[in-house]
Amino acid sequence: MKPENQVVMPHENRPPLFEICLAKPSHGDSIARMSRRFIEVDLPWWSWTPKRVATAIRSSDTIAIVARTPKKMLGFGIMRFGEECSHLNLLAVDPAYRRGRIGSDMLRWLEESCYVAGTPSVSLEVRASNRGAIRFYQSLGYEKGELIPRYYCEQESALTMTHHLAEVA
C-alpha cells in the first residue's frame, strides 16, 4: 500500500519532479543528438546539428526549452516566433517518459509564449509517416494541412499542421 503522503501522478511515465525551463547553449549537443535519434531518425543527413541547435538557442527570435529533472533531460522544444504565425521546429520526449504529458506541457508552454507575444497561430511540419506525433498534435487542437512531397531530405513527405491560438484563448 502507498503511504498517504505519496503523490500519485496520473500518468506513470511522468516523473514526480521535473521542470520546464529555457535551454542553455550547454544543452545544444543533447538536443541535437535527441533530434537525430527521435525526429530525424533514418533520414540520410542530419539537419539539426549541434551547431544549428546552438545557433537557435542563441537566436533572439527563437525560444528553446528543455524538460528536465535535476539529473536528466526528458525532452525539448524549439519554436521560432513570427509576426502572424510562429513555427514549431522541434519537439521530442525521451521514449522512457512518453505518454506522461511532458510533450503536452512543453507545447502549451511554447504556445503561451506565442500568445503573450501576440502571435495568433502556430504551424509545424511533421513526417507524414509519424502517425503518433500527428495524433498527439491533433489531441492538442492542431489541424491537418497540406502534404509537401519530398520535404525531408528529398525523400519523405511532410504534413503541415496549424493551431489557431486565438480560437481557444
Q: Give me the least distance between CB of 3 and ligand COA, in Å please.
A: 26
Strand partners, 123: 87, 162
What residues numbered 117-146 form the site for ligand COA, per CB under 6 A? 126, 130, 132-133, 135-136, 139
Residue 40 beta carbon to ligand COA: minimum distance, rounded to whole angstroms: 9
CB closer to ligand COA, 2 vs 135: 135
- By CB under 6 A, residue 103 contacts ligand COA: yes
User: What is the C-alpha separation between 132 and 138, in angstroms, rounded?
Assistant: 10
Rounded CA-CA distance 136/80 in Å is 20
Candidates 56, 90, 110, 122: give the one binding ligand COA (CB under 6 A).
Answer: 90
Residue 48, number of CB atoms within 10 A of its CB: 20
> Count residues contacting ligand COA (CB under 6 A)?
20
Three cell numbers written together for 63? 525560444
Of 79, 76, 84, the residue nearest 34 (C-alpha): 76
CA nearest to 160, candidates 77, 51, 85, 49? 85
Which of 23, 53, 64, 91 binds ligand COA (CB under 6 A)? It is 91
Minimum CB distance to ligand COA, residue 131 (Å): 7
Among 36, 52, 87, 99, binds ligand COA (CB under 6 A): 99
Residues near 159 by beta carbon (within 8 Å), at least 6 away in sequence: 125, 126, 127, 128, 134, 144, 145, 146, 147, 148
Closer CB to ligand COA, residue 3 or residue 10?
10
Binding-site ranges for ligand COA (CB under 6 A): 38-39, 90-93, 98-104, 126, 130, 132-133, 135-136, 139
